Chain A
Amino acid sequence: MVEEESLRVVRCGGSELNFRRAVFSVDSKYVFCVSGDFIKVYSTATEECVHILQGHRNLVTGIQLNPRNHLQLYSCSFDGTIKLWDYIDGILIKTFIVGCKLHALFALACEDSVFVIINKEKPDVFQLVSVKLPKSSSQEIEAKELSFVLDYINQSPKCIAFGNEGEYVAAVRDFYLSVYFFKKKTTSRFTLSSSRNKKHAKNNFTCVSCHPKEDCIATGHRDGKIRLWRNFDDEKKYTYTCLHWHHDLVMDLAFSVTGSSLLSGGRESVLVEWREAAEKNKEFLPRLGATIEHISVSPAGDLFCTSHSDNKLIIIHRNLEASAVIQGLVKDRNIFTGLMIDPRTKALVLNGKPGHLQFYSLQSDKQLYNLDIIQQEYINDYGLIQIELTKAAFGCYGNWLATVEQRQEKETELELQMKLWTYNKKTQGFVLNTKVNMPHEDHITALCFCNAEKSENPTLVTTSKDGHFKVWILTDDSDIYKKAVGWTCDFVGSYHKYQATNCCFSEDGSLLAVSFEEIVTIWDSETWELKCTFCQRAGKIRHLCFGRLTCSKYLLGATENGILCCWNLLSCALEWSAKLNMRVLEPDPNSENIAAISQSSTGSDLFVFRPSEPRPLYIQKNISREEVQWGVFVPRDVPESFTSEAYQWLNRSQFYFLTKSQSLLTFSTQSPEEKLTPTSKQLLAEETLPTTPFYFILGKHRQQQQDDKLNEALEDELVQLPLTENIPAISELLHTPAHVLPSASFLCSMFINSLLLSKETKSAEEIPDDVSMEEEKESVDSDEENNFTEQVQDTNNTDLGKDIIHQLSKSEEKELRKFRKVDYSWITAL
């Protein structure tokens, strides 16, 4: 492991689960969903990730069960391959190389080819083609035989649907629906009449779904209508009916397996079930939390699955009851709070669902829980100005959490609220303690807790654009009736009416640094006296942080003009400065190291340095092409031991960063194979074995006999096991040297007898209700049985063909043992 490899930037979890429709296995035990370059297999009952199918080298764009073997799964990806997986064992079976970017995949039962969406010529024109999958035993097969089906279609797989067991395919784009009949090889095209006259008509097609049994196509539209098309084999006589409940666009449609009901969903976050395609027969499952992006139905028909824009899958039971929630890292919104680490759970904390903070476990790539900060009904609508959770900070080893939310409708109307949450050990969660309305008169730019170990009283500092910074302390608010603590403002500071932009406490909590635009002021945290100021005239201060441990005498500031300054607090002078256009400046809590990410035209670069020396410890150029927005050091549970000096900064903490497109990245020297989660293998439980009659005979039988063997150690000569190695006669036979064995004809009958199962003992084993009783019975029976077996031996020539199975008698075995004892003496004498 310590083997030095190059440090690579790797994506770490948190990829979209809602990119494509989820797919159910035939028995509804598993649900598959694409997740970045991987396919994840979740158990529908436990919500646990059972397997991660890895192998694609680019985004996976489509998955489909193999219609001819339901234990296999097809997947396609932007890397131009179609892969076939065994999802139960998580094995890649085959790879078909197509060669061009594949946008979606469809598989039909009746054909040996699959359908994919590609774009060949222009970047915006997509075609549906069928790919013939050649039969071959090799692992990688070229599949270049493409035959064209439909042109000029939408790239989203939601806009393609195969109907009536593959008789036709329906595709929608903009204002028309085209249907291609495979038998007739003709295409019909239907255009909505209203779209012709109106310029800004809102009835664009958004999605399509086909009835599994009848010739019926359901289409969803941008104005929230659902149209059901019939008789579309005739371009003149076609009819459609309209269903309207959604007030905004219909995101996805799905027919149930029998076709008796139609499911639809959209921005309202309400799953609507239309029974018998009638407007009045509808059922709702409301409050699903976020926009429904996809709906899928299990082949068994007992489960539905909805994918939501907040990166979540909800498994819904047939009677519209949500049964499981699979939640990934929520990332459909701007991250205002930055990345934080909850000191208690070591979970990554950032903005989650609207108005929530999410606690995301980096180890298990799973959301731990959501903390509702704003606690108001979320109205999901366009153009509404929502309350935004803008700042959050943990203090005092995770005992306190401070959050700031704001809403600004007009220039003058700012609603600002600061909340302080305390960790309740009993309920294991955060409880609201203090709510401060309008803590400042303008936007809060930063807040930080004093995390010094010795500080007895929790202290919080907020800085605001109104030119003030405020110090909040925890005060005892209790009286004789109840005990209570609350936060109150202790001190208000300002510096020449400049906007306060950043604040930072030194490691021991004795000093507070507050930046006012270009000026950094240092305050004594005991008396709140201004100690000194630093000013470099190099633009507004964007980041501010103190050095730690041995470098605690240094203060670092990064300005907007791209200057990084390091001041010595003892001499109150500039120690060094560097020209770096800093985006992220993040100190490692476990060491002196500070990570800085700078932004240049080509990409983002990482610098790791110590404040004591201007020379960086480590530089990695081009860690990401996009702008990096946030970074954070996560303490490792088990320290790594990189010997190379360049990687030593990763020994005790891991660095995670978030880019503008909200992909969470980290550094790793491990190859992707090593990163494979070891837990997934163990989760493959016995339950995967189907309980067939065969299983009942063999599986249980064997187990029982093993148990019996333990119980009946005394009478092992009576125990009859079909396993050859457990039969004493055979083991004797195999262990005795060949030259001392009697002739084969003498042993033959004995050997064959030993392989047979005696009827008597079998019946005894079939009713093993009470082991002790059985034991007694058998010990009593043992003599009788001896006689019986001898009897059988006499007549074995005639009974051989029958089902009477038995084994060596005592006497025979003694005889065999005798042979064995005899042999060695003379050999050793030689």
Chain B
Amino acid sequence: MAGYKPVAIQTYPVLGEKITQDTLYWNNYKTPVQIKEFGAVSKVDFSPQPPYNYAVTASSRIHIYGRYSQEPIKTFSRFKDTAYCATFRQDGRLLVAGSEDGGIQLFDISGRAPLRQFEGHTKAVHTVDFTADKYHVVSGADDYTVKLWDIPNSKEILTFKEHFDYVRCGCASKLNPDLFVTGSYDHTVKMFDARTNQSVISVEHGQPVESVLLFPSGGLLVSAGGRYVKVWDMLKGGQLLVSLKNHHKTVTCLCLSSSGQRLLSGSLDRKVKVYSTTSYKVVHSFDYAASILSLALAHEDETIVVGMTNGILSVKHRKSEAKKDSLPRRRRPAYRTFIKGKNYMKQQDDILINRPSKKHLELYDRDLKNFRISKALDRVLEPSCAIKTPEITVSIIKELNRRGVLANALAGRDEKEISRVLNFLIRNLSQPRFAPVLINAAEIIIDIYLPVIGQSPVVDKKFLLLQGLVEKEIDYQRELLETLGMMDMLFATMTRKGSTSLLQQNTSDGFLENKKIES
């Protein structure tokens, strides 16, 4: 036989953004820490080694920040002009940066003066990176050249002159010491191989390329330029995999999440978008106050650092999850109680009888099952339920009405209990989704308690409040109807030429009737 069917709780569509695992994950950051830099923050780079400091390139300085420090723990300021692209080596001990005057400087993290200086570029060097073997530096400059430098004897090894516009971004492969990628304002992204001294793959992005990114495996290349983010399959010789157009201004920076499952892009439209790297759909989006120039994620996505054009560095730390454990755990039965009898093997003549699985019922359902209607109503009128989940309260009221016992459940209440019901009505009566049910309940209450009105000032006050609410609602409805009438007239004149185009009107909740509360 069928068991008790729990009350169907009416669900209402949640407006606004859908809650997914990603929104939960990316919203789980503390409020950002804002740090003011001297100029536009052109590059943020995290050290790959603990304690995961990060280098911020802004104007002619490079600041190194600790994880939670608001003040720089170290500053490199020996630049004559603007510094660019301060990047950590894989071991986190060396830092390389280009500069506006065409020089490239290599710093030791602990030292202050540059260890090496690479001279050779004639114009501003906007991109530098260490190759995978740690002993070379690759750089791209506004003189259209890409150069490979040897660190030990600070000599230029190779020069590639294949771009014919500024080279503004680049990235070395993490696996192969000979491979690196550069993007240029000539709309191309080229992959170079140090062994062949020419480009091996060249792809046409279509816009001046602002940022390139190689996936850790080296198989996929992401390029950003103009409003587009494009993903290329390098193993197929540079085939376009997907082209994303989710920003409405130039995309300036790219970044991968630590798991490699999500791709982040920052743009001048002041947004950071998070894409899934399997479906390339936007799963989340952050808003910032100014146009974004640089973006970096710490190890395990612990920190998001965003640099903006107005020189503000925004640092967001992940909320610690330790707090959740702080609740004292209820003592559970010992493990052996759960496995008791579970490993008993069935003998030949035994008949296995399964205990019917017990269906969990909410407390109000248990009351309703046993026809304790007043108690069920009391339970859902508790503040914890009535405020947090008013739809449950309304559904129970509706169910009681369906069973024809709402009047019985509402009757016989003292001052405190009735004022609780009235409080709920006052709070929710004007909500259109609850109105039909609650108006009915309000009518019943008025019918029941009319003879005793005037005995309790508290309840009388609540009734007066309710009356005021209803009157306000009626006025509001009248205004809405007037507006609707005006709109109808406008549409009627407009649709005269059009065919049978239809207009779906949200006829407002006209069911709030004129009701007077006698008091």
Contact = CB atoms under 8 A, between A and B. Distances in A.
Interface of A: 286-289, 322, 372, 375-377, 379, 381, 383-385, 387, 407, 409, 412-413, 437, 441, 479-481, 491-494, 529-530
Interface in B16-39: 18, 20-21
Residue from the set A479, A491, A529 with the largest chain B CB neighbour count within 10 Å: A479
A529 B502 CA distance: 11
B1 interface: yes
Nearest to B371: A379
A409 B444 CA distance: 14
Interface in B394-413: 399, 401-404
B246 interface: no
B281 A384 contact: no
A412 B368 CA distance: 27
A492 B502 contact: yes
Contacts of B402: 376, 379, 384-385, 387, 407
B4 interface: yes
Interface residues of B, number: 33
Contacts of A479: 18, 20, 281
Contacts of B4: 287, 377
A494 B502 contact: yes
B493 interface: no
Given A287-B1, A387-B402, A413 B7 contact: no
A389 B500 CA distance: 34
Contacts of B20: 479, 481
Interface in B481-509: 499-500, 502, 504, 507
B3 A287 contact: yes
Contacts of A322: 1
Contact of B507 (A288, A387, A441): A441
A13 B369 CA distance: 37
Given A287-B1, A322-B1, A377-B368, 5 more contacts: A289-B2, A385-B404, A441-B507, A479-B18, A529-B499
29 contacts: A287-B1, A287-B3, A288-B1, A289-B1, A289-B2, A372-B2, A376-B8, A376-B402, A377-B4, A377-B7, A377-B369, A381-B403, A383-B404, A384-B402, A385-B402, A385-B404, A407-B402, A413-B436, A413-B511, A437-B10, A441-B507, A479-B281, A480-B276, A480-B279, A481-B20, A492-B504, A493-B500, A493-B502, A529-B500
Contacts of B276: 480
Nearest to B21: A481
Interface of B: 1-8, 10, 18, 20-21, 276, 278-279, 281, 283, 368-369, 399, 401-404, 436, 440, 499-500, 502, 504, 507, 511, 513
Nearest to B6: A377
A293 B21 CA distance: 54
B401 to A, nearest CB: 8
Nearest to A489: B504
Contacts of B278: 480
A381 B408 CA distance: 16
Given A375-B8, A381-B404, A287 B2 contact: yes
A612 B422 CA distance: 67
A383 B404 CA distance: 9
A322 B436 CA distance: 42
B10 to A, nearest CB: 7
A491 B502 CA distance: 9
Residue from the set B399, B499, B500 with the largest chain A CB neighbour count within 10 Å: B500
Contacts of A372: 2
Contacts of B502: 491-494
A532 B507 CA distance: 29
Contacts of B513: 412
Contacts of A381: 403-404
A437 to B, nearest CB: 7
A407 B398 CA distance: 12
B1 A530 contact: no
Residue from the set A286, A375, A377 with the largest chain B CB neighbour count within 10 Å: A377
A269 to B, nearest CB: 9
Contacts of A384: 402-404
A377 B21 CA distance: 35
Contacts of A437: 10
Contacts of B368: 377
A754 to B, nearest CB: 47
A409 B402 CA distance: 9
A479 to B, nearest CB: 7
A212 to B, nearest CB: 29
User: What 8 A-B pairs are tightest by C-beta distance, nearest first?
Assistant: A287-B1, A377-B5, A480-B279, A384-B404, A379-B403, A480-B276, A492-B504, A480-B281
B404 A376 contact: no
Contacts of B440: 413
B7 A480 contact: no
A493 B513 CA distance: 29
A670 B267 CA distance: 81
A286 B3 CA distance: 9
A480 B22 CA distance: 10
A41 B301 CA distance: 73
Contacts of A481: 20-21
Nearest to B5: A377
Nearest to A414: B436
Residue from the set B5, B21, B368, B499 with the largest chain A CB neighbour count within 10 Å: B5
A286 B368 CA distance: 15
A494 B505 CA distance: 13
B511 A412 contact: yes
Contacts of B404: 379, 381, 383-385
A577 to B, nearest CB: 28
A385 B404 CA distance: 8
B180 to A, nearest CB: 32
A387 B502 CA distance: 32
A154 B380 CA distance: 50
B402 to A, nearest CB: 7
B283 A480 contact: yes
A289 B279 CA distance: 49
B66 to A, nearest CB: 36
A375 B5 contact: yes
Contacts of A375: 5, 8
A501 B404 CA distance: 32
Contacts of B281: 479-480
B246 to A, nearest CB: 14
A495 to B, nearest CB: 9
Nearest to A481: B20
B436 to A, nearest CB: 6
Contacts of B283: 480
A627 to B, nearest CB: 32
A523 to B, nearest CB: 10
A379 B399 CA distance: 11
Contacts of A379: 402-404
Contacts of A530: 500
A571 to B, nearest CB: 23
Contacts of A409: 401
Contacts of B8: 375-376
Contacts of B399: 376
A372 to B, nearest CB: 8
A494 B495 CA distance: 15
Residue from the set A288, A375, A480, A494 with the largest chain B CB neighbour count within 10 Å: A480
B369 to A, nearest CB: 8
Contact of A376 (B7, B369, B499): B7
A788 B113 CA distance: 125
A259 B217 CA distance: 84
A329 to B, nearest CB: 19
A387 B402 CA distance: 9
Nearest to B278: A480
Contacts of A407: 402
Contacts of B403: 379, 381, 384
B495 to A, nearest CB: 13
Nearest to B281: A480
Contacts of A383: 404
A492 B502 CA distance: 7
